Chains A and B, each alone.
Chain A
Amino acid sequence: MIEIKPLISVENLTVEFPVRGSAVRAVDDVSFEVGHGEIVGLVGESASGKSTLGLSLMRMVPSPGRVRARRMEFDGRDLSALDESQLRQIRGSEISLIVQDALATMNPVTTVLEQITEVVRDHEGVRSRRVLRARAAQALRDVQLPDVEINLRRYPHELSGGMQQRVAIAQGLILGPKLIIADEPTTALDVTVQAQILSLLKQIRDGGTSIIFVTHDLATVAEICDRVLVMYAGRIVESGTVAEVFAEPQHPYTQGLLASLLPLGGDPPKRLDAISGQPPRPEAWPSGCRFHPRCPLWKSKGEPEICVNEDPQPDESRTHWAACHFAGEGVR
C-alpha cells in the first residue's frame, strides 16, 4: 500500500497571547492532519480556540499572538519556516479563509468585480482588465451566483446574504486553493441558503479541495464532514470519522453535544441541558482534564482525583480516540 501524505499535518501546535506578564494559550498543544479532498469538521463552543486554530494555519493570529508548533507541514512545505512574504504567497492562493459574516469581510467601497479580481492581480500579476473580468465571471458562475454580469458591478451591501457568501467563496476559490478554512460560513444564513452553500462546499471538496469546516453545529458536521475534531478549552478532545464519532462518541463532552441535538423526526432529546455550566476562558483553564468541572461522567464516578490532577492523553494510534481517562464509558 502506498502511503499518501496528508495535505496538512500539524504537531503540537500552540497559540499564545501574552496577557499581563503571562502567556494565555488559546490553542494548546494540538496535533491533527487533514487529507487531500476531505472535509474535516472542527467543532467547539465559542472560546474553545477553534477559530484561532483555523487562523493559525495561515499564521495569521491577531497580534500580539504567537504560533508555535513542532511541525506544521503543508503540501510538503514547513509553514513555520516561511517568512512573511512567502506566507503572503500561500494565503489566499493555496489556503483560503471564508468566514461567517461575508459582508463585514468585504471592502465596502469597491465592487464585486474589484473584490474578486484583486487576488488574481496580486498573486498572478494579471493586469488585463478583460482577462480579469472573464476570470471573475467564471468564478461567480462556479459558485452558482445568478446574474453574474449585473452582480459584478454591484457593491457588497447591494447583495443578499446568500449572494454575499457565494461571492466570498468565489473570492476564496478563484486561485484554486488546496485548503479552505471555512469558519461558520453558514451560521448567518437562513436554512434554504444554508443547504445550498453546504452542497456547494461538497462540490468543491469533490473537486479535490480540502476543507476545514469550523462550526459549533454538529448537525451540519453530520451533513458534510468526513472526519470531525472536537475542541474543548484549547485542546482536541475527540477525533474520528463522522460515522464513528456520531455512532459512538467516547468523550463525555461529545456525548453531551450529541445529546443536545434534536434528532430529525425522532423524539426530542431527554436532556437538553446535557452540558451545564459555562465554557472556561483561556486565562483560567481548569487543571487536569479541562472538562472536569462540567463533566457528568466525573460527577457520576464520585469525582475521581485523576481527572483533577492528570491531563488525559489521547491515544493517537487509533483513528477514533478521545482524551478522557474513562473514554467510552459515558453515561448515555
Chain B
Amino acid sequence: MLRYIVNRLLIVVPLLLALTVLLFLYVHAVPGDPIAGMLGPNGTPELVAQIRADRGLDRPLLEQYWSWLSGLVTGDLGVSLISGQDITPIVIARIPATLQLTFAGLFFVILIGFPAGYLAGKHKGGWLDRILSPAALIGLSMPAFWVGTLLILVLGVQLRWFPTGGYVAFEDNAWQSLRLTLMPALVLGITLSPFLARMVRASTAELAHEPFIVQARTRGLLPGTISRRYLLRNAILPVVIVIGMQLGTLIGGQVIVEQLFNWPGVARLLIEGAVRRDYLLVQSLIFVIAVIYIVINLLTEVVHASLDPRVRL
C-alpha cells in the first residue's frame, strides 16, 4: 500500500509541474492589466508602474514563474496582486467552509444516490425502478444553479424554513451552521446523486446474475443474508469509485453553489480572483484545487482497496 502511494506520487509530481507551466502561461495570456483595472481612472501611469514593480510584475516572465514555483514548494502561494496580502492564509481561512460544504454535499449524494440506485437495481423493472430511473434522468439534466434558485425561492423565500445564504462557522453556532449548510449541500446532492444512482443501479442489477448470488440461493441462505452480505456489500464497491470519478463535477458544482448561497469557500475565492483579474490568486488557487483533487482521488482508491479484498494496492 505504501509503495503504491509512493509510486503514485512519483507520477503526480511531473504532472503538477506541467500544470504549473500551463497555468502560468494561460493566466498571463489573458488580456488586461490587473493593476490598471484595480486603480481605475485614478491610476496614473506612474502609480501603476510603481505598484507593478512592488508586486514584481516588471521582472522577466521566467523569473516570475520561478519565484512562484519555488514559493509553491514551500507552501507559499504568493501575494495577491490586488490587495498585496499573502495568499496562503487567505486560502487556509476559506478551507473549513469548503470542506464543510463538500462533506455535507457528499453526504446527500450518497444518501440519495445509493439507496435509490440499489433498490432500483435490486428490483430492476419493478415499480420503484420505473419511477426512479426517469427521475434520475431528470435529475441529471437539471443544472445546479437552477436547482439552487428553486430551493432558495421555495424553502427560503416562500416557506422561510431556511436562510437563503451565508455562512456561520460550526464551532461558533452549530445549529445555525447546519441550517445554512443544508440547502447548498442539498443542491449538490440533488444534482450529483443521479449519476451515482445510475451506476449503482447498473452494478446491482448485474450482481443478480453473478454465480455467487445464484449459489447463495442453492445453499438455502435466508433472503436477508443474501441481501445484506451478498448484494449490499458488493453494491457498495462502485460507490467509492464513482465518487472519485465525480470529483471534477463536484468541484464545478461547488463553484456555482458557493456563489449562489454566498458561501465563503475556496471556490468563491476563485471567482472573486477571476473577476478582479488577480491572476496570481487564480493561478495559485487552481493549483491548490488540483492538489486537493489528487489527494482525494488517492484517498478513494485507498478506501476502495480496503472495501474490496481483491484490490491490492
Contacts and interface: CB of A to CB of B under 8 A. Distances in A.
Interface of A: 55, 58, 60, 62, 87-93, 96-97, 99, 101, 104-110, 114, 118-119, 121-123, 155, 157-158, 171-172
B308 A109 contact: yes
Contact of A109 (B219, B221, B234): B234
B230 A107 contact: yes
A114 B220 CA distance: 15
Given A108-B234, A108-B309, A60 B229 contact: no
A108 B218 contact: no
Given A108-B308, A109-B233, A157-B310, A99 B225 contact: no
Contacts of A96: 218-219
Given A60-B217, A91-B217, A92-B219, A105 B212 contact: yes
Given A108-B308, A109-B233, 19 more contacts: A62-B214, A91-B219, A92-B221, A96-B219, A97-B215, A97-B218, A97-B219, A104-B211, A105-B212, A105-B214, A107-B216, A108-B212, A108-B234, A108-B309, A114-B229, A119-B219, A121-B225, A123-B220, A172-B219
B307 interface: yes
29 contacts: A60-B214, A88-B220, A88-B222, A89-B220, A90-B220, A91-B217, A92-B220, A93-B220, A99-B211, A101-B211, A104-B210, A105-B212, A105-B214, A106-B215, A107-B212, A107-B229, A107-B230, A108-B212, A108-B234, A108-B310, A109-B234, A109-B309, A114-B229, A118-B219, A119-B220, A119-B221, A121-B225, A122-B220, A123-B220
Nearest to A114: B229
A122 B222 contact: yes
Contacts of A88: 220, 222
Contacts, number: 77
Contacts of A89: 220
Contact of A118 (B214, B217, B229, B310): B229
Contacts of A105: 211-212, 214-215
* Main SS at interface, chain B: helix
Given A99-B215, A109-B234, A122-B225, A155 B220 contact: no
Contacts of B309: 108-109, 155, 157-158
Interface residues of B, number: 22
A317 B99 CA distance: 80
Contacts of A55: 218
Given A60-B217, A88-B220, A110 B229 contact: yes
B211 A171 contact: no
A92 B218 contact: yes
Contacts of B220: 87-93, 119, 122-123
B212 A104 contact: yes
A112 to B, nearest CB: 11
A123 B212 CA distance: 18
Contacts of A58: 218
A107 B220 CA distance: 15
A132 B129 CA distance: 38
Nearest to B209: A62
Interface in B271-313: 307-310
A315 B129 CA distance: 53
A148 B17 CA distance: 51
Q: Counting chain A CB atoms within 10 Å of each CB, which of B217, B218, B221, B225 scores highest?
A: B218
B256 to A, nearest CB: 37
Interface in B185-234: 210-212, 214-222, 225, 229-230, 233-234
Contact of A106 (B212, B225, B233, B308): B212
